[in-house]
A and B are shown apart, each in its own frame.
Chain A
């Protein structure tokens, strides 16, 4: 019964938090650029407007993939709040990413295909690091369960700080922020229009945005896992990471897709592997 309440609360509260964070994101970005910026509630106006738009489907399967993107993202978030398995969480997040790619490939638009190919590259860049994050938790606690992280009195950050840096890299890719804004091309419309989401319009685009809100809460939740005792420190760390991403977004130029994969593999994988090797070395396994 308690779990059911947690599930319902998550389904309702997560998009509200995500939407507000997106609103704060747009406001802070505007201030960093010397502009006034939209109201904090702007993402909610946008999504409500999109829900009221005309439905134009360019392929029969497109909306199936958008809904599966949303459902897998929610399932992944539920894994986190129900303190289930980290490994399952990572795989569900992977399925969500693949759904978006298939949604992009289900249309005939070349921009959409370009974006889908790049989204695949993004998945290739972040998925191994997330897996290493799960393995790192296993190396530290001896189990993949998130509930075990909450039982430990010593925060993960002390032993897993190199993996924390790697996860910050992933955060930039997952939030689609500037150095790694490859597949959806948020600011550079001239390049691939809107990339993988070019063909999603009206209510389907609203579904995509809703999934993005859940995703933002999810990745910030993953960052917060590094300090769970007490949890408010972890939440503060996650919010600080969020603000850091906004600053990085505004000071950095976009990189090419190749550079994104190279950087995340060299920095992310190297830090992760060294971190896990060190934990096993000190444990004497």
Chain B
């Protein structure tokens, strides 16, 4: 079990989902994959497929339309899985918190493991958030 446990920390595959973000945080998420930050150094790969993902990076406030999609995607990711709310909007709803169509942060729909605040989030902060999630995964008794 130790070998598999160690491998989990070394190969987090990411699913990036945009609720109703302004795309600021999404661009920063993609910036992590560029040569400047190159998160593939740590085995982090951006997967387009929830069934292959381990970590969900979710940006933007949840609205009434995306809540169902988000729940569906969360159910499709096989466990053990981690959810990271990227940006102020994903964490709490941000400036959109009292809009008529916005439910609030991601934690209104699915359990969130790590909150990464910022508007827009810095790529360094996103990488920090993923590392924090992995530490949580390493300490978890699975």
Residues of A bordering B, CB below 8 Å: 26, 30, 33-39, 42, 44-46, 48-49, 51-56, 189-190, 193-194, 198-202, 205
Contacts and interface: CB of A to CB of B under 8 A. Distances in A.
Interface residues of B, number: 27
Contact of A46 (B35, B43, B46, B79): B43
Interface string B1-23: 10111111011010000000000
B4 to A, nearest CB: 4
B35 A33 contact: yes
Interface of B: 1, 3-8, 10-11, 13, 35, 38, 40-43, 46-49, 51-52, 54, 76, 78-80
B51 A56 contact: yes
A19 to B, nearest CB: 13
B43 A189 contact: no
11 contacts: A35-B40, A42-B11, A42-B43, A45-B7, A46-B43, A49-B8, A51-B4, A53-B78, A56-B76, A189-B49, A201-B78
A46 B78 contact: no
B41 A36 contact: yes
Given A53-B78, A54-B79, A189-B48, A38 B41 contact: yes
Most buried by A among B1, B43, B46: B43
Contact of A52 (B8, B40, B46, B47): B8
Contacts, number: 79
A202 B46 CA distance: 16
A45 B7 CA distance: 5
Say what secondary structure dominates the interface of chain A: loop
B47 A54 contact: no
Contact of A194 (B40, B52, B78, B80): B52
Nearest to B3: A48
Nearest to A192: B48
Contacts of B79: 53-54
Counting from the closest, the 4 A-B pairs by CB-CB distance are A189-B48, A52-B4, A48-B7, A201-B51
Given A189-B47, A189-B48, A202 B78 contact: yes
Contacts of A38: 40-43
B40 A30 contact: yes
Given A37-B40, A46-B43, A193 B35 contact: no
A190 B48 contact: yes
Given A34-B35, A35-B35, A198 B51 contact: yes
